[in-house]
A and B are shown apart, each in its own frame.
Chain A
Amino acid sequence: MSDDPREKLKSCLLNLDKNGLLQAVQAVVAEANPEAAQDAVDALAEGLQIVGRRFQEGEWFLGELVYTGELAKEAMGQLSPLLKSSGAESKGTVVIGTVAGDLHDLGKNIFGNYAASAGFEIVDLGVGVAVEDFARAAREHQPVALGMSCLLTVCAGSVGKVIEELSRQGLREALKVIIGGAALTEEFAKDVGADAFAPDAVTGTDIIRAWSCE
């Protein structure tokens, strides 16, 4: 194993080695050097990219995806105080929620955690979120993206209603809309005027990452 602390962070993450990872994070924190902390955060981000690739290629499944997401989140939590003092910023805020009438939150939560570990600020509105609550959150938090999840076909109509309400209140132009869940498709996204459909948390995070760089 390499002595390079960044390589160590990455390999611990990819070996699901929690103790090793937290030790490596502690070593970075002890340095109290914002640049080293930034390097560490970058290394974790690289590691998560590899996690995402393994997931998309079928090598890893939900267990590994969620576990590495949690590890990265914990590591980021310890590193971020160092970053903030040096003025490092989050990639932006993403508001997420499951639409009215639907209580499924598994996919939404996995997306939220994974996107958070990739450096986004997540505002999770929960499940069964009313149209006006999505709109209010869009106004309050000024997110780069708004994500809606829906697994029940009978509730899919709410997705379009939220987008209409955002337009009506003049909020639509300032943000991107990403949707996901078993009831939705790429085609549905086009029909209701969403910017993207994400088949899984990793693809969804790739999409918002690309948006945040625009």
Chain B
Amino acid sequence: MHAPVKIELQPLGTAAAVARGTQLQDVLHRFGVEFPCGGRGDCGGCRVRVLAGSLPITEDQRELFSEQELADGWRLACRHAVEDRLVLEVAQWETTVLVDHGELKFAARPGTAIVVDLGTTTIVAQLLDLQTGQVLALESSRNPQAVHGADLMHRIEYGLSKTGRVELVETVRSEVGAQIQRMLASVSNTDLAIERVLLAGNTAMHHFFCDLDLEPLAHAPFESEQAGFQEIDPADLGWALPGDPRVQFLPSLGGFVGSDILAGILATEMHRSEGIIALADLGTNGELAIGNRDRIVCASTAAGPAFEAGQIQMGMQATTGAIAGVEVAAGELRCRVLGGGEPRGICGSGLVDAVACGLETGLIKSNGRLSRGSISLAGRVEITQQDVRQLQLAKGAVAAGIRILLGRLGAEASTVERFYLAGAFGNYVNPTSARRIGLIDFAAERIEPIGNASLLGTKLALFNEALEGDHFEALRNSVEQIPLGVDEDFQAYFIQETSFPNL
């Protein structure tokens, strides 16, 4: 009789105990993962990425994956059995970005620590070995505060009442605490001592976690005096952790721009670069930072939910059944459906592709008008005039924000060396399509996805003692927040940028 082993599937965070030796295909199939070629190892549709544990490389996979992909942990699920504990990222569930792509440079020292990216929608935590830089365990879950509003303004409003605030604070603290306990339970070493827990997130999440007065974040000018570096006694958090760690939250850059962007600046090394680097994290709020070692400006722009396919008629998360890519082949629109099955809807990256194709084929005019009622993509999935309008608003806000920041730096788009796109949307959007719709006016080869830049930057901060205290404050003080709402050019730029480029 085989002993059961635990297998975890990210990013949805589902877990199961299965008998040792079970085919991975059988396990994944139960969770809705599809095997387009029937598990013959031909199509690559069941790609998974090993986040913890190991799957030995089989020879036939060398044909489907590059050396780099194999080194990054990509495997075909249909080619493996479960032999030991595994944490896998399922490519069909491209909903959140759990890992960072950048190479981690660090000074090795003994010990373990935890980094947390405390997002509005998703919370991701990693348990790190400070000697090897390895991720010992990883947790991701939905932010449970979302029942009080998907967007931050609703949550802040709820938190203005005393009971509301207590509830929001308790909810987020206990969720992160539970993630940490699950990570500790998953590793075999039972006498780990945690040295430090370091968190990054937007200013509102910072205030929730640290239990600070929310009132300054509820109205203009949205500046809180408590947005700096915070350290909290784990006992106050209700956490009992081995090693009595210091729990610290990285400082925010301003009312709208949090330590997630500060961490992103670290991750891109913008603050050390001679050439100009840009970073954009495009969600409901489009967060932007552009600059180099001399000067960095940043801003937050209210893009709305279109990049996450919110308020899109057939919009859905990037999971099985979502159209994630569209291209024009022989005059026809051809769609890529996650999981390869029947299309059920469209996700953010698919929408950008579809609109770019619509512009190319003349189905959409540069003012966003559809040449007929709606555009059929595949199956019953279509995009409507209103969907295109939503995307125009989102892309207009981001493109106008980028123009304002470049203007403040006295720089041109053509002088930006590298444009990093963080987050899930940035990871999966096609740079050529993003350029075609005028979201970002940079050559595709200068656009690079960076994954979870916040988590990577937080790790860099953790490993780099020089970034503690004063040095961090110095970096923070050198970054200038530009309030777009009161910028005199923003409105005109926004209106112009709601149109698509006329090529």
Flag if A61 contacts B219 (CB, 8 Å). no
Flag if B153 contacts A153 (CB, 8 Å). yes
Nearest Cβ on chain B to A61's Cβ, whole angstroms: 5
Q: Which of A26-34, A96-104, A168-176, A190-198 contacts B (4 or more CB under 8 A)?
A: A96-104
* CB of A42 closer than 8 Å to a CB of B: no
Nearest residue (CB) in B for A102 is: B220
Flag if A154 contacts B491 (CB, 8 Å). no
Q: Which of A45-53, A62-70, A133-141, A204-212 contacts B (4 or more CB under 8 A)?
A: A62-70
Docked Cα-Cα span, A154 to B160, in Å, equals: 9
For the residues of A in contact with B, the DSSP-based class is loop
Given contact pairs A101-B218, A155-B219, A66 touches B495 in the complex (Cβ within 8 A): yes
- Number of residues on chain B facing chain A (CB within 8 A): 26
Flag if B157 contacts A58 (CB, 8 Å). no
Docked Cα-Cα span, A61 to B367, in Å, equals: 7
Nearest residue (CB) in B for A66 is: B495
- Residues of chain B lying within 8 A (CB to CB) of residue A62: 392, 396, 495, 498
Flag if A61 contacts B392 (CB, 8 Å). yes
Nearest residue (CB) in A for B217 is: A154
Nearest residue (CB) in B for A152 is: B153
Flag if A102 contacts B219 (CB, 8 Å). yes
Could you say which of B157, B160, B220 has the most chain A C-beta atoms within 10 Å of its C-beta? B220
Flag if B219 contacts A63 (CB, 8 Å). no
Could you say which of A58, A61, A104, A153 has the most chain B C-beta atoms within 10 Å of its C-beta? A61
* CB of B6 closer than 8 Å to a CB of A: no
* CB of B154 closer than 8 Å to a CB of A: yes
Docked Cα-Cα span, A109 to B486, in Å, equals: 13
Flag if B498 contacts A58 (CB, 8 Å). no
Nearest Cβ on chain A to B286's Cβ, whole angstroms: 15
Docked Cα-Cα span, A105 to B499, in Å, equals: 20
Docked Cα-Cα span, A78 to B443, in Å, equals: 44
- Residues of chain B lying within 8 A (CB to CB) of residue A127: 220, 485-486
- Residues of chain A lying within 8 A (CB to CB) of residue B160: 154
Flag if A101 contacts B219 (CB, 8 Å). yes
Given contact pairs A62-B495, A63-B496, A109-B491, A154 touches B218 in the complex (Cβ within 8 A): yes
Flag if A63 contacts B491 (CB, 8 Å). no
* CB of B369 closer than 8 Å to a CB of A: yes
Q: How many contacts between A and B, using CB within 8 angstroms?
A: 61
The interface bits of chain A over 123-149 (1 if a CB of B lies within 8 angstroms of the residue's CB, else 0) are: 000011000000000000000000000
* CB of A214 closer than 8 Å to a CB of B: no
Flag if A103 contacts B220 (CB, 8 Å). yes
Flag if A61 contacts B153 (CB, 8 Å). no
Within 8 A of B (CB), among A83-136: 100-106, 109, 127-128
Given contact pairs A59-B369, A61-B367, A61-B368, A153 touches B154 in the complex (Cβ within 8 A): yes
Nearest Cβ on chain A to B237's Cβ, whole angstroms: 27
- Residues of chain B lying within 8 A (CB to CB) of residue A102: 219-220
For B156, give its contact among A60, A128, A154 (CB under 8 Å). A154
- Residues of chain B lying within 8 A (CB to CB) of residue A155: 218-219
- Residues of chain A lying within 8 A (CB to CB) of residue B157: 153-154
Docked Cα-Cα span, A104 to B495, in Å, equals: 14
- Residues of chain A lying within 8 A (CB to CB) of residue B154: 153
Nearest residue (CB) in B for A67 is: B495
Given contact pairs A104-B485, A106-B494, A58 touches B385 in the complex (Cβ within 8 A): yes
For the residues of B in contact with A, the DSSP-based class is helix
Nearest Cβ on chain A to B368's Cβ, whole angstroms: 5
Docked Cα-Cα span, A101 to B218, in Å, equals: 8
Nearest Cβ on chain B to A180's Cβ, whole angstroms: 16
- Residues of chain A lying within 8 A (CB to CB) of residue B389: 58, 61
Flag if A103 contacts B486 (CB, 8 Å). yes
Nearest Cβ on chain B to A41's Cβ, whole angstroms: 25
For A64, give its contact among B218, B367, B485 (CB under 8 Å). B367
Flag if A105 contacts B485 (CB, 8 Å). yes
- Residues of chain B lying within 8 A (CB to CB) of residue A61: 367-369, 389, 392, 498-499
- Residues of chain B lying within 8 A (CB to CB) of residue A103: 220-221, 483, 485-486
Docked Cα-Cα span, A100 to B218, in Å, equals: 11
Docked Cα-Cα span, A128 to B486, in Å, equals: 11
The interface bits of chain B over 366-404 (1 if a CB of A lies within 8 angstroms of the residue's CB, else 0) are: 011100000000000000011001001000100000000
Nearest Cβ on chain B to A117's Cβ, whole angstroms: 15
Flag if A63 contacts B498 (CB, 8 Å). yes
Flag if B485 contacts A128 (CB, 8 Å). no
Nearest Cβ on chain A to B285's Cβ, whole angstroms: 14
- Residues of chain A lying within 8 A (CB to CB) of residue B499: 61, 63
Nearest Cβ on chain A to B340's Cβ, whole angstroms: 34
In the A-B complex, the 4 residue pairs with the smallest Cβ-Cβ separation, listed nearest first, are A101-B219, A154-B218, A103-B485, A103-B220
Q: A61-B498, A63-B499, A154-B153 are in contact. List 18 more A-B contacts (CB 8 A).
A: A58-B369, A58-B385, A58-B386, A59-B369, A61-B392, A62-B396, A62-B495, A62-B498, A64-B367, A101-B219, A101-B220, A103-B486, A127-B220, A154-B157, A154-B160, A154-B219, A155-B218, A155-B219
Can you give 18 A-B contacts (C-beta < 8 A)? A60-B367, A61-B367, A61-B368, A61-B498, A62-B392, A62-B495, A62-B498, A66-B495, A101-B218, A103-B220, A103-B221, A106-B491, A127-B486, A128-B220, A152-B153, A152-B218, A154-B153, A155-B218
Which residues in B have some Cβ–Cβ distance to A below 8 Å?
153-154, 156-157, 160, 218-221, 367-369, 385-386, 389, 392, 396, 483, 485-486, 491, 494-496, 498-499
